[in-house]
Amino acid sequence: MVPGVALARASLIVNKPADRGRPPAIHPSHRFSSQPSRFHSQTPNMMSFKVRSSKFRHVYGTALKREYCYDNIRVSKSSWDSTFCAVNPKFVACIVESAGGGAFIVLPLSKTGRLPADQPVVGGHKGPVLDIAWCPHNDNVIASGSEDCVVKVWQIPDGGISRTLTESVVDLIYHQRRVGLVLWHPTARNILLSAGSDNQVVIWNVGVGEPLIHIDCHPDIVFSASWNFDGSQLLTTCKDKKLRLINPRSGEIVQEAICHEGSKASRGIFLKGGLIFTTGFSKLSERQYSLRSPDKLDDPIVMVELDTSNGVMFPLYDPDTSMIYLCGKGDSVIRYFEITAEHPFVHYINTFQTPDPQRGIGMMPKRGCDVSICEISKFYRLNNSGLCQAISMTVPRKSELFQEDLYPDTIGDIPAIDAEDWFNGQDAEPILISLKDYHQPTRLPTASEMKVAKKPNILDKPSANKTVKSSPNNTTAPPVAKPQFNQPQQSIPDDIVKEFKEEIRKLKAMIVKHENRIRALEARAAEDTTDTAKDSGDSVHKNNDLNDLEIKDNDTEHVDTNDDDD
């Protein structure tokens, strides 16, 4: 039988014909029954039970205390199906309510607690912000899409913003209706995808601020988009219920099929091995997930019903552990599964329960996880009360040593190819880095200043401080770059430098003031001491004079007495 609570409603295992060479599939139309199936026909009188071996069977979630979270956030009330939150190893960004336009806040991970009412925001949009995405190759660059039909790219200083930011680095203008999706390319530098309610998908070269490719093959709104592991294929889900596999350079549809039969929003993502995972709704509005092969999109390998809730499920995928986290909008739970080659391929592990429903959620890249506590995933969860809560997914291990089986080489922040090379047909897998030398949950790589220009790439980031092991043709295993941690040189924003100088000037003035006051007090004390000594001397002289006078008086009286006697 299918293991796991979430799979209890799954169907009977039905083997596909042998000539198709496909693994057995699960479909909700096949219900459990008392009739023996072909799958169990060889052992009709025996019931065998085998516990699946996995190092992630005991993964558990922990919510950080409130003082280590962010509070008093005015979370966006937009009905758009977006995660409203994006996070990287330096910042967490959340879409917020804003009067007179759209805005989002950017908070350093090190500065937690309750936000002030006048918290600075990134507020250059004229309409509500619908989606945000951090650049995977520069932790200081973030893109945003809005109802004002404009995509903006922003540069965030290392310490965060100290005042409201309204000037973006570049504005990408093409869409005629609201932009509800922005997505960076996983391996190519400065490649950004945007999708709008005008049913258009545009691929931009942000380095020069111009569109590279225009894809017009969707008859309705695009709900989601996903690149495959090397960025050579694009997967989209649309309001017409179809799942499309697209060649991103030519815009041609390679394959398409019905994703889920329900009319509500569906989501689809590429897995590392090339398989496709989708979430959506059935005709009866039951929430489903499926696993498919890109060769046969219309024939799911696995199709399972979860529940009857009406919130859109966002699949968050960790390619290093092959784990998928399902986070539903309005849910108070996070379900997590492991994808393996063993039947039934999508294995339910556990559910993380929270008391409050979630409004949005963001997933930390693996290079931002704390390897010292065996943290394999980290989420930042928004709820309606304005709390952004950090949730850590941890594998219980007693040893404090680096767990190599939990942390294979992971995707780094170094682009594998340039935008021009990718546009000319080159593909490359992500450059991987080792997490063995990571000793802190966050890392602050050097970020470059951005300037709007036509020829130079405005999102360039110096990579001289990193040692990259890459093959010239990218035909072998993904190269590995070993991160350097003892690099003292980091760019400091001008406003922070000015603040430091002003503080130093004030301290110097205060020291001079105190020194003058001390000198004045010492001089006054010396004068008081002199006056006291002088007063003491005068008193002694006066006493001596009085004594002399008394002696003279006594002598006079004695002489007068003698005269009388005579």
What percent of the chain shows pLDDT beyond 90? 63
Distance of alpha carbon 548 from alpha carbon 447, whole angstroms: 92
**C-beta separation of 69 from 386 below 8 A:** no
Considering the domain architecture, whether residues 306 and 159 belong to the same structural domain is answered as yes
Distant-in-sequence, close-in-space partners of 292: CB < 8 Å, separation ≥ 6: 243, 275, 276, 277, 278, 299, 300, 301
Distance of alpha carbon 491 from alpha carbon 447, whole angstroms: 7
**Higher-confidence residue: 544 or 292?**
292
The beta-carbon contacts of 368-373 under 8 Å, at least 24 apart in sequence, are: 368/87, 368/88, 368/89, 368/441, 368/442, 368/443, 369/435, 369/441, 370/440, 370/441, 371/402, 371/403, 371/407, 371/435, 371/436, 371/438, 371/439, 372/400, 372/439
Region class of 523: left (phi > 0), else alpha (psi between -120 and 50), else beta = alpha
Beta bridge partners of 253: 246
Using 50, 70 and 90 to split pLDDT, how confident is the model at 541?
A: low
Among the ranges 11-15, 99-103, 233-237, which has the highest mean pLDDT value? 233-237
DSSP readout, 76-88?
----S----EEE-
503 found inside a domain: yes
Strand residue runs (E) in 300-374: 302-305, 313-318, 323-328, 333-339, 346-353, 358-363
For the chain, how many structural domains are there in total? 2
pLDDT of 13 higher than 50: no
The two tokens of residue 518 are 């001390």
User: For residue range 53-95, what is the model confidence (pLDDT) as tens digits?
Assistant: 889 999 999 999 999 999 999 999 998 999 999 999 999 999 9
Could you give the residue ranges of the DSSP H alpha helices within 62-126? none
| Final residue belonging to a domain, choices 337, 356, 375 | 356
Using 50, 70 and 90 to split pLDDT, how confident is the model at 551?
A: low
10 found inside a domain: no
The two tokens of residue 149 are 């039909």
Least confident of 23-37, 84-98, 417-431: 23-37
User: For residue range 471-512, what is the model confidence (pLDDT) as tens digits?
Assistant: 444 444 444 444 443 444 456 777 788 888 888 988 888 898
3-class SS of residue 144: strand
Q: How far is CA 387 from CA 21, 394, 535, 553, in A?
A: 49, 22, 72, 98
pLDDT of 219 higher than 70: yes
Domain that holds residue 88: 73-356
Mean pLDDT of the chain: 82
**Element holding 185 (H helix, E strand):** none
pLDDT of 527 higher than 80: yes
| Final residue belonging to a domain, choices 293, 322, 356 | 356
Distance of alpha carbon 486 from alpha carbon 430, whole angstroms: 24
pLDDT of 244 higher than 60: yes
User: For residue range 295-334, what is the model confidence (pLDDT) as tens digits?
Assistant: 999 999 999 999 999 999 999 999 999 999 999 999 999 9
| Final residue belonging to a domain, choices 317, 332, 356 | 356
Phi/psi for 125 (5° steps) reads: -80, 150
The CATH number of the domain where 291 resides is what? 2.130.10.10
pLDDT of 24 higher than 60: no
Using 50, 70 and 90 to split pLDDT, how confident is the model at 461?
A: low
Burial 16-52 (b: 16+ CB within 10 A, else e): eeeeeeebebbbeeeeeeeeeeeeeeeeeeeeeeeee
The two tokens of residue 221 are 């709104």
Identity of the residue numbered 402 = F
**C-beta separation of 307 from 330 below 8 A:** no
**Higher-confidence residue: 4 or 285?**
285
Radius of gyration of the chain, Cα coordinates, nearest whole angstrom: 36
In the block, residue with structure tokens 């809005």:
146
DSSP readout, 273-298?
TS-EEEEEE-TT--EEEEEEBTTBTT
Using 50, 70 and 90 to split pLDDT, how confident is the model at 145?
A: very high
188 found inside a domain: yes
**Higher-confidence residue: 368 or 456?**
368
pLDDT of residue 546: 55
pTM: 0.71
- Half-sphere exposure of residue 124: CA atoms within 13 angstroms, side-chain side: 18
CB atoms within 10 A of CB 450: 22
Residues in the chain: 566
pLDDT of 41 higher than 60: no
37 found inside a domain: no
Residues 136-163, mean pLDDT to the nearest whole number = 96
Q: How far is CA 436 from CA 335, 398, 476, in A?
A: 28, 17, 23
pLDDT of residue 184: 98
pLDDT of residue 557: 52
**C-beta separation of 94 from 117 below 8 A:** no
pLDDT of residue 399: 79
Residues 411-420, mean pLDDT to the nearest whole number = 95
pLDDT of residue 97: 93
**C-beta separation of 218 from 237 below 8 A:** no
